[in-house]
Every structure is written in C-alpha cells, then in structure tokens.
Amino acid sequence: MKTMGNRIALALGLCLILACIGFLVPQCIELARIERDIRHSETLRHRQKTVEPLEAELLRLASRAPEQGLEAPVRAPLDASKLRSLAELFENPARRLGLALIQLDSDVAGLSSAGYRELDVELTVGGSCSGFQRYLVELCRLPFLVELRHVTIRRTAADTVQMSVAATLSVRG
Amino acid sequence: MAADSPNITGISSLWRSRRKASSGIAQAADEAGEAVGLYLSGQQAFLARIRSSRNRVPVVSEHLAVTLDPQPDRAAEELREHLRMIGGGRMPRRLWTCLQSPGMVLQALRVPQVRPSAMAAAAFWTLKKERNLETEDTVFDIERLRTVEEDGVSRIELLAVAVPKEELAEHQQLIAGLGAEAAGVSPPVFAFRNYLRLGYPELGRRPCAVLFVNDASSDVFVFQAGQVLAVRTLRTGLDSLRDTIVQTLDIDAGDPRVDACLKLLAGEVVDESVFGADAPPSAEDVFSWGRPVARRLARNIQRTLHAFEDTLEGSEAATFFVAGTVTRYQPLVSFLGDQMGLVLTPFTPTKSEFLQDVVEEGESPLEESGMSLAVGLALAESYHTPNLLFTYEDRQKLQSRTAIARTLRVTTTVLLIVLATATAALRYYVGVRRGHGKQLQRTVAKAAELLDEEKVTELARQVAARQMTTRGLAEAYYAPGVVAEVADLTPDAVHLLEIHVGFAPKAAAGQAKIAPKTSAGKNAAKKLAKKAAAAAAKEGARSDMVRMRGVLLGSKRRLDGILAEYIFRLQKSPFFHTPTLVEERLERTDAAYLAFGDKKSEQILFFTVEAALREQRPVRKPPVGGGQ
C-alpha cells in the first residue's frame, strides 16, 4: 500500500512537473516574442526620438518667412550682338539710382571668335554710398554676370565717392 | 491458565489505551503495524496480537493460550480456529512464528568493516569457515549488533542465523497447513529480545541472560543494552532426565510411568494406578534421580556463562531469567540456580509493569514463558527483528529501493516547488513585460501619428528647396552683402577712405573645367585656365579678402579704443575672420583742413585693416546654356 502510495505520489509529481514544463515552455516562447516586440518598439521609439528634433528644426526652418525683395537671377549669356550697347546696360541702372557711370573698360577685342566667351569689364561710378550698394545689387541681377572680381569704394574728394567694379560677363555668339 | 483449562481469551483493555512513549523509554515501536505472534510448545499454543504505532508503546490488544488436541488433525483444526479468532474473524495477515530447529545455527560473528550491502556475504563466508554451510541449502540472515575494536581494528559484531532451507520449508508448510501464511519466522532469541524490550525497559541499561531449557536442547541467550550479545545452544535438555527415569525404573521410553514421574517432579497430581502394584516414587526420589542430569546441565550452562563473566557475573545488576520446559519443574530450577550460584527468575509477564495483564494469577511459569514468546514474536513487526523469510539482503534491496523512492520523492517535490515558483514568477514577469511592451507600442503609435514620414519628407524637401534658394541668393548677392556688412559694422567715428573687396577668380577656373570638348571649346578652356592663373597671380595669395582704409579723429587714447572696437566688431562678423591691422599712423592735424569729422581734433589716425572673407561664397554654376 505504501509502495502504491509512493508510486501514485511520484506519478502525480511527475505529471505536475510535466504540466509545469508544459506551461513553462509556451510562457518562455511568449516571453521571447514579447521581448522581440519590445526591442522592435524600442528601436522605433529611438528613431522617433532622433527624428523629432529634426522635424522640429525642419518645421522651424520651413516656417521662416522667405527673403523679401531678392530673387535668384536666371543666368544667361549676353548675346554678342548687344556688346555695342554694353555701356547702356551698365549706365541705365546707375542713372536710375542717381549714380553716374564715369568709366567703362572692356576687353572686347580679346574675345574668341565663336562659342562661349567671357568678357572682363571694369567700370567706375560716382555718387552716394547707399546708391553704390543698390547698384551692386542691380549688377548682381544681370543675367550675363559671371562674377565680380573686386569692388573698390574710394573717397576721391571731400564730398565725392567713386566705386570701381571689375566683373566678368558671359557672352555667346 | 491451568493446564487442563479450556481455551482462554484475554483482552488487555488496559493496554488498548494508547500510551505515548516518552523519548527516554526504549520500548517505543520502531515501526507501525499490527501483527500476531504464534508460539507452539508441544501441545501448547500461545497467540498474541500486538498493535503498534511509531513512537508509541505497542499494545497487546489480544492474547490466547490453548492446549491443543493430541490428534494432529484435530489440533490443526483447533489452531486454525484460534488463529481466526485472534485475527478478528480472518487469518492474520501478519503472522510471525518461531522456528526451533536442531539444524539452526545462531552465532555471534565479527566481520571487517564493509559496506552494508556486502555485510551479509562477509558474515556468511566468516561463518562458513566454522560451519559446513552451503549457499544454496541455507537461509541466512544477520542482525548487526555493534561496532567493536579488535586488535586495534574496528570490526562489526553481528548475529548470524542460518537454517537449512528444508527445515524452513517444512515450517512454512506446517503454517500453510493451518490455512495461514507466515509473514516472518524468527528464532526464539529475538522473541525474548522483543519481549524484554517491551516488558522490561529497565533491562535496556543492564545485562541479562535467559536460560531457555527445553526437552531436546537448551539455549543460553545473553542480552546487553537491549541487544542480543550472545547465543549458545547446548545439546543437553530435559530429555536426559526422561532417559534417567527410564534407566532407573528399567522401563520403555513410552511407558506412562515416565510422564507420571515427571508430573510428580512438577508437583502435579498423578494417577497412581499407572505404577500398578509398585509403590509410586516420591517427588524427592524423582528429583534425586535427575540430580546428576541437572548438575551436568548446570555445569554446561556455567561454562557458557563463564565466557561472558565480564559482562554478566561481574555485574551485580545482571538478571538471569529461566524459561522453557524446565520452568515446569520448580525444584529443578532451584537446584540449577544453587549449582550455578545464581538467582534464576522465572520469565513471566507478571513481573513486568507493562505486561502483567497478559497472564492471570495462578498460571504456571511454563505457560507464562510461552505467552512471553508469543508476545515477543508479535512484537517483531514493532521492532526490527531478523526474519528468515525476509533476510538482510532482502531488506537491503528494499532499503535501496526505498532510498531511491525517497530520493525521487524529495527530488520531485523540490523540482515541483522550483518549477511552480518559476512558473509563477515567469507568469508574473511575462505579464509585466507584456504591459511594458503594450505601453511602448502605444507610445510609438501615438508618436507615429504626430511624426508622419511623408510630412517630414515634404518638410525636408521644402527646407532643402528653400536652402537652395537662399544659397542661390547668397551666391548671387555676395558682394553687396559684404559691402553692406562693412557699412553696418563701421561706427560713425570711423571715416573710411576706401573699401576694397577682392574675390578669387574661382569662376574662371571652374568654367575652364566645364568647357566643351570641341577644339574651340578646348582652346577656350585653355584660355580660361590661363586667365584664371593670371588673375590668381594678380590677386596674390589671399584670394577673398576685404581691405579698409580710413581715418579716426581725436585724442590718441580714444582713437586706439575706437579702432580696437572696430576690429573686434569685424572679428565677430560672420563674413570676416582674422581682421588684421596692417597699417596705423598717427599724425597731428590742422583742423582747418578737415573736410569731415570733429573740427577740434588735433590728431588723426590713419589705419588700414585687412580681413579674409569666410568661405561662404560657393563656386558659381555656369550660366544656363553657357559653354554649349
């Protein structure tokens, strides 16, 4: 009887152990799945935390008001046929701003015969300092301007100021 | 229990009450259970039923002493009925009997220290050196007694019991003939030991000996500390007395006068007609005939006890019990005691505080000692007792199995507890982690709603476009920006005479790289590259730079401060870096010639400051269609 009791107790114990193992294994699998999901969510959250300041910065940048009064000039070479009226191209804006075009030197003779060419010009205008800055802006808006090489503003007398500009123009044809 | 009395059943009501044994009393049961002991002595049968539980004193729940019919068949029938009666209406399930066999070997042995599983084999081969034993013909059992020192070597002292298998089989057949099955068969010495353990607990602390004198043989059992110390079997018994009577009267052994003489010696009433015309002898006559026999027996017993002189005779507290057939003849018992110089105490339950109820007043010592043996056999279940049907090796195997089962049980329990704890902990942990995971998923989902990927991409695109626009504006209006920055940074006290902003000829070099691959284009590219190199040489090492030349009017200390502040302003501007004062000249001036500034100034400071333009001006892209 005692042996039978022992056997029954052992069998019951083994059954319970098997039941526990049978319960433990799915729990372990479930835990592994949850941990995998948590790692995935943490990765996503980490990315979100990384992107959030970027989004805020992008929003800040996007919400800034665009620059007023300036527009990006569309560059296009100067047609060679207009080289004759080159002085007018520089004098007209100067006149509108109350400046006087004093001198314009260009190396037209040095231009190559065909294709894309660049023309160096040097000009001098006289007037007020505020007019010089606006004139420079007008020069920069010229579509055939390649670059400004140097700008010199010089006081020539007690009440006269001159600005010399050396620029490179693109010429076609 | 008179000899001619009918069967007597005694219910020890007193002993039915369960008595809790104190820890100091040795008679508490080792094992729990209920068993019946059967002792047969000639025509006498003694039965006792014992109920015991662990740590409690066993209870003699029922006992029975009967005189059986001389006819074997009738006797067997009567005994069967009595067994059923003592078993509560059915054959006892746990029946212990006593085997007294001339071929039985009971001997104390000393074997080397061996592991328990090898002890039986060691004892058997030790005994085999002295006795002619064969493994296949012998049932062998041992009881471990104690560990002793012998010549400085530790040895195990044990009691070995060996019985021919045939005799044990005959005994089992006898019991089976009664319709019962013996659970255990043990020699009488262990029945005495059990009985002493229960009935005489004080003997657990001092030695005692039992002289078990029967018709065919005599046994001397020596006990110490509740264990069997030694067993000696003498071939001399009371049959010698019968032989003496036969020789003295010159009659046959089966003559009724022999039994009549023995009855006279026992003090019983004798039918004098068996002697016929002769005058019957007196009890003294019979005693005188048997005196040489008794003397010889006493000498043999004395020689045996002499071996244990140190244990028994040296101890004043030693008790010498006498049991067996000899107790029927009180004069003989007294004579034996006188011869040995010992006080022989009849082995009777009436002398025991615990067992006095199992006999009644007026019963003969013979019957009392028989009942003692029955009680001792029934106690075999309560105390560990050698069993010829379930030997030491069987017990070892069972213990081994029990130990394995116990280990398994404990392991299973521990494993179960660990697994249950782990399961509960894991379940809890899984719940916690699941909650954490869900909360994290909610957070991610909530953030995902706010952080739309398309929206961010669109924003990035817009910002990039705006940056490209801004970059284009910065590129296009860099020169006016520099001039405006200089104008903003120049304080009123500083009168600039010249501002020169020089740009490196990057565009020319850049255009040379992108010139068309035609011959004309190649020529143009060469020319542009040459032009760029010449321009670079003309502009010097410093390409993008601004140079400011101006004057300051006032005292020298003030002029230095203004100039330092101006340079500091230039340094903080994002357009310039490392502004350097390349020229500084202080002159006295005549205010009358000044066309600007404070007319009271006496000193004028001419300075020239140069600064590099920061790398903010990107390389210009070629005009659309240019170079094609």
**DSSP codes of every residue in B40-102:** EETTEEEEEEEEE-BTB--EEEEEEEEE--SSHHHHHHHHHHHHHHHTTSS--SSEEEE---T
Token digits of residue B275: 């002697």
Q: Which percentage of chain B shows pLDDT scores above 90?
A: 12
Mean per-residue pLDDT, B599-612: 88
Widest pairwise Cα distance in chain A: 131
Q: Which is more confidently placed, B471 or B567?
A: B567
Query: Is residue B36 predicted with pLDDT exceeding 50?
Result: yes
What value does the mean pLDDT take over residues B94-120? Answer: 84
Same domain, residue pair B248 and B190: no
Which amino acid type is present at position B293? V
Categorize the per-residue pLDDT at B527 as very low, low, confident or very high, splitting at 50, 70 and 90.
low
Q: Give the C-alpha distances (Å, rounded to integers) separating B450 from A61, A118, A172, B81, B324.
A: 18, 53, 53, 99, 107
Position A2 confidence tier, pLDDT thresholds 50, 70, 90 = low
Residue A107 sits in a domain of what CATH number?
A: 3.30.70.60
The ipTM (two decimal places) reads 0.72
Alpha-carbon distance A43 to nearest alpha carbon in chain B (angstroms)? 10
What is the average pLDDT score of chain B?
79
Q: Are residues B380 and B326 in the same domain?
A: no
Verify whether the Cβ–Cβ distance A146 to B620 is below 8 Å: yes
Q: Could you give the count of Cα atoms lying within 13 Å of B59 in the half-sphere of its Cβ?
A: 19
Please judge whether A76 and B477 are an interchain contact, meaning their C-beta atoms are less than 8 angstroms apart.
Answer: no
Are residues B208 and B346 both part of a single domain? Answer: yes
> How many Å separate Cα B393 from the centre of its chain?
26
| Least confidently predicted of A103-112, B31-40, B127-136, B593-602 | B593-602
Count A/B contacts: CB-CB distance under 8 Å: 214
Residues A5 and A42 both lie in one domain:
yes
In a mutational test of the A interface, the residue from B54, B398, B433, B436 whose CB has the highest number of chain A CBs within 10 Å is: B433
Q: Are both B376 and B483 inside the same structural domain? A: no
Residue B297 has pLDDT above 80, yes or no: yes
Evaluate whether residue A87 is within a structural domain: yes
Residue of B410, B428, B456 best to disrupt the A interface, most CBs of A under 10 A? B456
Q: Report the alpha-carbon distance of residue B618 to residue B471 in Å, rounded.
A: 8
- Best of B413, B415, B418 to disrupt the A interface (most A CBs within 10 Å) is B415
Q: Is residue A94 predicted with pLDDT exceeding 90?
A: yes
B385 alpha-carbon distance from chain centroid: 29
Tell me the mean pLDDT in the region B432-457.
87
- Could you identify the residue written with the tokens 């003699």? B60
Whether residue A11 is predicted with pLDDT greater than 50 in this model: the reply is yes
For residue range B545-566, list pLDDT tens digits in order.
Answer: 999 999 998 887 788 889 999 9
Residues B305 and B326 in one domain: yes
Residue A162 pairs with which residues in a beta bridge?
A: A126, A154
Q: Is the sign of the CA dihedral A27, A29, A31, A33 positive or negative?
A: negative
pTM for the complete prediction? 0.52
Nearest to A51 by CA among B466, B439, B468, B455: B455
Same domain, A160 and A93: yes
| A60 and A144 part of one domain | no
pLDDT confidence of residue B21: 40
pLDDT top residue among B25 and B470: B470
Domain shared by A95 and A166, yes or no: yes
pLDDT at position B436 over 90: yes
Query: How many CB atoms are located within 10 Å of the residue B104 CB?
Result: 19
Q: Rounded to whole angstroms, how far apart are CA atoms B570 and B609? A: 10
CB A129 within 8 A of CB A153: yes
User: Does the distance separating the beta carbons of B416 and A48 come in below 8 Å?
Assistant: no
B563 and B581 Cβ atoms separated by less than 8 Å: yes
CA–CA distances in Å: residue B322 to residues B48, B140, B327, B369? 21, 28, 7, 9
Among chain B residues, CA nearest to A171: B626
Q: Please check whether residue A69 lies inside any domain of the structure.
A: no
Whether residues B39 and B183 share a domain: the answer is yes
Range of weakest confidence among A69-83, B350-364, B442-456: B350-364
Biggest distance spanned by C-alpha atoms of chain B: 199
Residue B449 is assigned to a structural domain of this protein: no
Query: What are φ and ψ of residue B55, in 5° steps?
Result: 65, 15
Residue range of the domain that includes B548:
477-503+544-613
Is A119 found in the same domain as A161? yes
Inter-chain residue contact B628 with A153, CB threshold 8 Å: no
DSSP characters over B446-483:
HHHHHS-HHHHHHHHHHHHHHHHHHHHHHHHTHHHHHH
Residue B195 included in any domain = yes
Domain presence at residue B318? yes
Same structural domain, A20 and A52: yes
Check whether residue B93 and residue B230 sit in a common domain. Answer: no
Nearest-by-Cβ selection for A21 from B419, B437, B487: B419
Per-residue pLDDT, B18: 35
- Residue corresponding to tokens 């600007």: B596
Residue B365 structure tokens: 């010592």
Residue of B nearest to A150 (CA): B502
CATH classification at residue B34: 3.30.420.40
Of B538 and B371, which is predicted with more confidence? B371
Backbone angles phi, psi at A92, to 5 degrees: -60, -50
> Sorting pLDDT into bands at 50, 70 and 90, what band is B624?
very low
Residue A44 shares a structural domain with residue A109: no
The whole-number pLDDT of residue B24 equals 40
A10 falls within a domain: yes
| Residue B413 pLDDT grade (very low, low, confident, very high; cuts 50, 70, 90) | confident
What integer pLDDT is reported at residue B510 of this predicted model? Answer: 47
Nearest residue on chain A to B416, alpha-carbon basis: A17
Q: Which residues of A touch B399 (CB under 8 A)?
A: none
The reported pLDDT for the residue numbered B537 is 60
Residue ending a domain, among A64, A89, A109, is A64
Q: Is residue A97 part of a domain?
A: yes
As a whole number of angstroms, the distance between CA B607 and CA B577 comes to 18
CATH number for the domain spanning B578: value is: 3.30.1360
- Please indicate, yes or no, whether residues B27 and B47 belong to a single structural domain of this protein: yes
Interchain contact, A13 vs B429, CB within 8 Å: no
Residue A73 lies in a domain: no
What are the Cα distances from residue B593, in Å, to A156, B9, B590, B604, B619?
16, 162, 6, 12, 46
Q: Are residues B600 and B563 in the same domain?
A: yes
For residue A31, tell me if it sits in a domain: yes
Quote the domain boundaries for residue A13: 1-64
- Looking at mean pLDDT, say which of A103-112, B34-43, B364-373, B436-445 comes out highest: B436-445
CA distance B50 to chain A (A): 20
Q: Say if B578 falls within a structural domain.
A: yes
- Asked if pLDDT for residue B507 goes beyond 60, the answer is no
Tokens representing B403 are 């130990």
pLDDT in tens, A17-58: 888 788 888 889 999 999 999 999 999 889 888 888 888 888
C-alpha span between B621 and B472 (Å, rounded): 10
Q: Which residues of B touch A52 (CB under 8 A)?
A: 447, 451
Average pLDDT on B492-520 reads 68
pLDDT at B110: 87
Same structural domain for residues B192 and B229? Answer: no
Query: Same domain, yes or no, for A41 and A88?
Result: no
Cβ distance A20 to B535 less than 8 Å, yes or no, reads no
**Would you state the pLDDT for residue B367?**
65
pLDDT at B364: 64
Q: Are residues A45 and A95 located together in one domain of the fold?
A: no
A172/B476 CB distance under 8 A = no
Whether residue B400 lies inside any domain: the answer is: no
H or E, element range at B154 = strand B153-164
Identify whether the C-beta of residue B229 lies closer than 8 Å to the C-beta of residue B199: no
CB contact under 8 Å between B441 and A41, yes or no, is yes
For residues B233 and B98, membership in a common domain is answered with no
**pLDDT over threshold 80, residue B571:** yes
Question: Are A133 and B480 an interchain contact pair (Cβ–Cβ within 8 Å)?
Answer: yes
Same domain, yes or no: A140 and A82: yes
Nearest to B37, CA basis, from B186, B200, B201, B221: B186
CB contact under 8 A, B520 and A114: yes
Residue type, B503: F
Question: What b-and-e string marks burial along B203-237, b requiring 16 or more CB atoms within 10 Å of the CB?
Answer: bbeebbbbbbbbbebbbbbbbbebbbbbbbbbebb
Question: What is the tens place of the pLDDT at every residue in B460-494?
Answer: 888 888 888 887 788 788 888 899 999 999 998 89
Higher-confidence residue of B602 and B609: namely B609
Domain count, chain A: 2
A88 and A157 inside one domain? yes
Evaluate if residue B374 carries a pLDDT over 80: yes
Is B95 within the bounds of a domain?
yes
When mean pLDDT is compared across A150-159, B227-236, B433-442, the lowest value belongs to B227-236
Q: Does residue B237 share a domain with residue B318?
A: yes
Between the CA of residue A16 and those of A4, A5, A23, B93, what are the distances in Å?
Answer: 18, 16, 10, 36
Please work out, in degrees rounded to the nearest 5, the angle formed at the alpha carbon of residue B379 by the alpha carbons of B378 and B384.
125
For residue B199, the model assigns a pLDDT of 75
pLDDT on residue A90: 92
The pLDDT tens digits of the residues spanning B137-167 come to: 888 888 888 888 888 899 988 888 888 888 8
For residue B413, how many other CB atoms are within 10 A of its CB? 12
**Residues A36, A111: one domain?**
no
Closest CA to B2 of B54, B47, B65, B78: B65
Identify any residues that bridge with A125 across adjacent strands, giving them in sequence order. Answer: A101, A163
Let me know: does B234 contact B300? Beta carbons within 8 Å.
yes
Amino acid at B131: R
pLDDT of residue B8: 37
Round to whole Å and give the CA distance between B98 and B373: 8
Q: What torsion do the CA atoms of B20, B23, B28, B32 make, to the nearest 10 degrees? A: 70
- Chain B positions in Cβ-Cβ contact with residue A77 (cut-off 8 Å): 623, 625-626
| Residue B434: strand, helix, or coil | helix
Q: Would you call B625 and A159 a contact, using CB atoms and an 8 Å cutoff?
A: no
Number of neighbours of residue B22 by Cβ within 10 angstroms? 9
**Into how many domains does chain B fold?**
3
